């Protein structure tokens, strides 16, 4: 049993360790004092020397600190894949963006990007831009699967609310503060014809941009009771609430929430300070896992996994052109001098089918993210 405290928030649960692969401890929280459900578990996959991806590299289970995230639909399995990509889980090309450097450290030590543009296509209306980045007016953001609420500037927030089809709730719902926007889930089902659509475009350090398309339904999540069952109105209809929040223009970094990230397939490459994203193939019923190695390419990347690179110069020290990138330096707590693994040529990622990849599969049930099924390393399976 272990206790964890951060400010006024505390968690209490079991302390677990996998001794078969890498002796990596992790926790299972079964008591916590968060105010509002649903509770979102955090695995911790950022820039740090003691995180799961780092231990997997040390154990030679994967070639570099690289993992991909596929959240999938709310009621279906998603996955975290260490060391590779699943080409069946996305559509179109993966577009690579360089992370922005930290304002405080001048290094790439977090997943900072810019929101370049947000468009909306309301039902029976033409598409229009509701936010566009300028030199004087930029949104700095960080993708975060542990954050359910999309943080938006006031003008964009108001546009989303205007097309959400609901008024602030005067009732109390389990875990939902009064004044939030609530609708029956059946009215915001994904795939509805009479709904608003959005396109969010991200940019990093360079000229590349990557766009994700999402529906209004993606921004709603079910309201659940403490026992995990659905909260319903007087007629028995399950209710959902809109997961957006208003943030003023004050220079702070906003979070791109799981409700937005669900529309994409994300590959985080910590060694090279990059993220690659593509439109998610939601509801995919197949899998094609390939390993991304840290050595030279042999042409196994198919056209559906094309990287679109821009020439970039930043604190990591990328070379110009598209052939290769030298060893990154000054990235968070990572010390390249202690790492003797070969470097990846980002244009030419070498892949193998289902070798030396580690997969943790999760299930989101009634808003809960549960790491639940298996770790796959070199064709072996370890049940958790």
Give residue 138's pLDDT.
Answer: 87
CATH 2.40.70.10 for domain 34-47+76-351, yes or no, is: yes
Mean pLDDT of 92-119: 92
The stretch 222-251 carries a mean pLDDT of: 88
- The secondary element (H helix, E strand) that includes residue 222 is strand 220-222
The DSSP output letter for 189 is -
Provide the token pair at 353.
């089918």
Lowest mean pLDDT among 182-186, 226-230, 337-341: 337-341
How far lies 210's CA from each of 67, 111, 161, in Å? 18, 15, 25
Of 49 and 234, more confident: 234
Q: What single DSSP character describes residue 176?
A: B
In sequence order, what are the residues at sequence separation of 6 or more whose Cβ sits closer than 8 angstroms to the Cβ of residue 228?
365, 366, 368
For the cut 60, the answer to whether the pLDDT of residue 246 exceeds it is yes
| 228 phi-psi bin (left φ>0, alpha ψ -120 to 50, beta other) | left
Distance CA 170, CA 148 (A): 22
Of residues 130 and 173, more confidently modeled: 130
Instruction: Give one DSSP letter per residue of 229-284, joined into a string.
Output: PBPB-TT--BEEEE-EEE--SSSPPEEE-HHHHTTEEEEEETTTTEEEEEEE-TT-
State the pLDDT at residue 336.
28
Radius of gyration in angstroms for the set of CA atoms belonging to the chain, rounded to a whole number: 21
Query: Residues 12, 26, 70, 152: is their CA dihedral positive or negative?
Result: positive
pLDDT at 312 (0 to 100): 29
Give the residue carrying structure tokens 């596929």.
Answer: 70
Confidence of residue 277 (pLDDT cuts 50, 70, 90): very high
Between 286 and 20, whose confidence is greater? 286
As a whole number of angstroms, the distance between CA 115 and CA 138 comes to 7
Q: Which two tokens stand for residue 42?
A: 């955090």
What is the distance of C-alpha 192 from the center of its chain?
25
Find out whether 176 and 241 touch, Cβ atoms under 8 Å: yes
DSSP secondary-structure letter at 217? G
Domain range summary for the chain, segments of one domain joined by +: 1-33, 34-47+76-351
Confidence of residue 136 (pLDDT cuts 50, 70, 90): confident
- Which class for 102: exposed (0-12), middle (13-18), buried (19 or more C-beta within 10 A)? middle
Report yes or no: 215 and 190 within 8 Å, Cβ to Cβ. Answer: yes
Q: How far is residue 199's CA from residue 218's CA, in Å, rounded to a whole number?
A: 12
Percent above pLDDT 90 for the chain: 41
C-beta of residue 72 within 8 angstroms of C-beta of residue 262? yes
Contact 264, 78 (CB under 8 A): no
Each residue's pLDDT tens digit, 59-97: 788 888 899 999 999 889 899 998 999 999 999 999 999
The predicted-structure confidence for 281-338, as pLDDT tens digits, reads as follows 999 999 999 988 774 223 323 333 333 322 222 233 222 222 222 222 223 332 323 3
95/131 Cα distance (integer angstroms):
21
pLDDT-derived band at 26 (thresholds 50, 70, 90) equals low
């Amino acid at each position: 049993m272990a206790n964890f405290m951060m400010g006024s928030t505390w968690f209490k649960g079991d302390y677990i360790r996998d001794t078969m692969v890498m002796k990596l401890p992790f926790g299972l929280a079964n008591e916590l004092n968060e105010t509002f459900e649903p509770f979102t578990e955090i695995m911790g996959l950022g820039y740090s020397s003691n995180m799961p991806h780092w231990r997997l590299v040390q154990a030679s289970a994967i070639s570099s600190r690289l993992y991909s995230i596929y959240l999938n639909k709310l009621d279906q399995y998603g996955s975290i894949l260490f060391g590779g990509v699943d080409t069946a889980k996305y559509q179109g090309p993966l577009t690579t963006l360089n992370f922005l450097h930290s304002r405080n450290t001048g290094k790439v030590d977090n997943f900072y990007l810019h929101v370049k543009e947000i468009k909306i296509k309301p039902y029976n209306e033409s598409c229009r831009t509701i936010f566009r980045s300028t030199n004087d007016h930029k949104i700095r953001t960080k993708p975060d699967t542990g954050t359910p609420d999309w943080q938006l500037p006031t003008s964009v927030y108001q546009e989303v609310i205007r097309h959400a089809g609901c008024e602030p709730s005067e009732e109390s719902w389990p875990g939902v503060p009064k004044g939030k926007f609530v609708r029956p889930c059946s009215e915001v089902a994904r795939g509805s014809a009479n709904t608003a659509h959005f396109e969010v475009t991200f940019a990093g350090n360079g000229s590349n941009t990557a766009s994700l398309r999402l529906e209004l339904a993606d921004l709603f999540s079910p309201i659940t009771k403490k026992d995990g069952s659905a909260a319903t109105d007087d007629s028995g209809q399950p209710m959902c609430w809109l997961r957006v929040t208003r943030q003023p223009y004050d220079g702070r970094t906003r979070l791109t929430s799981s409700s937005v990230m669900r529309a994409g397939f994300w590959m985080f490459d910590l060694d090279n300070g990059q993220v690659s994203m593509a439109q998610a193939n939601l509801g995919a019923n197949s899998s094609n896992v390939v390993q991304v190695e840290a050595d030279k390419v042999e042409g196994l990347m198919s056209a559906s996994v094309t990287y679109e690179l821009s020439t970039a110069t930043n604190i990591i020290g990328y070379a110009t052109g598209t052939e290769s990138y030298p060893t990154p330096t000054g990235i968070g707590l990572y010390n390249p001098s202690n790492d003797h693994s070969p470097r990846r040529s980002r244009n030419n990622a070498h892949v193998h089918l289902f070798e030396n990849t580690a997969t943790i599969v999760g299930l989101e049930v009634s808003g809960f993210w549960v790491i639940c099924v298996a770790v796959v390393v070199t064709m072996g399976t370890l049940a958790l």
